[in-house]
Amino acid sequence: AEVYAGLLAGEALMLNLAQMEDAHLKQDQRALEVERTVSLSAVYAGLPSNSFNLSEKVTELVKKGAGNTGNGLNTLAFGTGTDTKTSLQASLSLAYLDVFKDYPASLGKTRRIKQISVTLPALLGPYQDIQAVLSYGGDNNGLARGCKALAVSRGMNDSGQFQLDFNDGKFLPFEGIAIDDKGALVLSFPNATSKQKAMLQTLSDIILHIRYTIR
């Protein structure tokens, strides 16, 4: 009986190894890589209710130093907290973009963000930088430490990294968020009524380059 038990244990082990190898091959298969470019100006102008012109509203709110506009998770507003009351915040609902429907479900139902970059069309003086922070307002408990926000300083396809490297062993900001998640991306501009006021008054759009994978 002990011999038979040993043989069966070996067979069970071989089966487990085969299952592990199969799972690894499925997980390790090359994912489809997609980039979705999003214009917040177009999103805000197309809202079903409370639509608005991004450039005009930014100028208006910055002059007032307060206020808000928009609908649901798609809004432009000044922060209400002690640290954010002088920060202008533009938010975008991921689910509202309906990115999942861009490609057939037959290609794969697991669609997750790999990386996000930001472009800010605005007039800048010589050697002038931008200060902005892109954060995620949804369930970010599953994100790795240091991956819940990125700092924007250049404003031209800005990844928040000195050098973007997709082969880096570390997770990138926002990597792993489901493309149809119910949360929102929030771009905050600190010092919106002082240091960055002139720049914001020339801001014509906010462009997000959302790169994601399909498995």
Give, in order, the Cα–Cα distances in Å from 35 to each of 139, 199, 201. 23, 28, 29
pLDDT score, position 15: 82
Residue 19, H or E segment: helix 2-28
pTM: 0.85
pLDDT digit string, tens, across residues 5-50: 555 666 777 788 888 877 766 666 789 999 999 999 999 999 999 9
Residue of 80 and 204 predicted with greater confidence:
204
How far apart are alpha carbons 147 and 174 in whole angstroms? 6
How far apart are alpha carbons 144 and 165 in whole angstroms? 17
pLDDT score, position 170: 87
pLDDT digit string, tens, across residues 159-204: 999 989 888 888 999 999 999 999 999 999 999 999 999 999 999 9
How far apart are alpha carbons 57 and 43 in whole angstroms? 14
Domain segments of the chain: what residues? 1-30, 31-214
The DSSP result for 171-182, as a single string, is PPTTTT-BTT-S
pLDDT digit string, tens, across residues 150-159: 999 999 999 9
Q: Which residues contact 101 (CB under 8 A, 6 or more apart)?
A: none
pLDDT score, position 13: 77
How far apart are alpha carbons 199 and 125 in whole angstroms? 9
Given a cut of 80, whether residue 3 has pLDDT beyond it is: no
How far apart are alpha carbons 114 and 174 in whole angstroms? 7
What's the mean per-residue pLDDT of the chain? 91
pLDDT score, position 2: 52
Look at residues 106, 69, 76 and name the one whose alpha carbon lies nearest to residue 91.
76
